[in-house]
Amino acid sequence: MYYFVYGPLYLLSLLPLKILHLFSDFAYSIIYHIAGYRKKIVLKNLSIAFPEKTEKERIEIAKKFYRNFTDNFIETIKLLSAGQNFIKKHYTGNMQIFSDLYAQGKKCQIHLGHNFNWEIANLGMPLLTPYTLLTVYMPINNKTIDRLFIKIRSKTGAVLLPATKMQTAMLPWRDKQYMLALVADQNPGVPSKGYWLNFFGRPTPFVTGPEKGARANNAAVVFLHFTKKKRGYYEAHAELATSDPNTLVPTQLTKNYIQYLEKVIKANPEIWLWSHRRWKHEWKPEYGPVIA
């Protein structure tokens, strides 16, 4: 079954990106205008994040989001056959901070959000930095699709670590330098076990693993986000959060990250993943205080 899926998609990936974007335009029309995929969730999220905007303004952000959403998946297909020159042309950025940290012998964690296009970023980081990239991913139930994404995501040297087995997957890397990429805007599986902070003015739970892992491994932390220079071209922006997370009081690193995340989302709201239910949990007193 894998090759029945892989073969046609690989052939499709050989088309120029401009042609593939025509497929994205068609998919956008279907998903947004006809199917209305998660449109209620997207508009609800935007109303929470941007209550000061008019409904018309939020709809315009939603439309741009859906165009970027379909571009993200079409461009991922392109990555099946894309070579290193293509990746370095379409994913750029100043990576000096990673070279500096590597020269200092530091382990490194990247905390990023669901910004487009995270798939090309996953391939670009090993080409632009001296680190071995460790990418945490959630295994997909469909074995064919899971195998396909593993092939794409590992083609430039990234080592994939299943989120369901993180403790054992990290064991071989305990005494090595690495760059661990964590999408840190996830909802915790159990909201009572998350850090609750105000995000766009609403109490919101965030996973505790990124901060706790940085402390346990004494890893420098870099906040990272992407901007879309033009269609198919992305630029990474890296900011050193801390070279020693243990000098910060508990929860401060997560608080700093959330402030950073909110700032970059406000600057470019159309490239964040509004279709996931960021505010699906309501705060309850038994969860503990909301961190100020």
- For the chain, what are the domain ranges? 2-287
Residue carrying the six token digits 């706790």: 212
Under the banding of pLDDT at 50, 70 and 90, the label for residue 189 is confident
pLDDT tens column, 18-27 = 999 999 999 9
pLDDT tens column, 46-82 = 999 999 999 999 999 999 999 999 999 999 999 999 9
Residue 229 has pLDDT above 90, yes or no: yes
Residue carrying the six token digits 């995929």: 37
pLDDT value for 121: 97
Percent of the chain with pLDDT over 70: 100
Q: What is the pTM of this model?
A: 0.95
**Half-sphere exposure at residue 247, Cβ-oriented, CA atoms within 13 angstroms:** 7
Q: Which residues contact 269 (CB under 8 A, 6 or more apart)?
A: 46, 49, 50, 61, 65
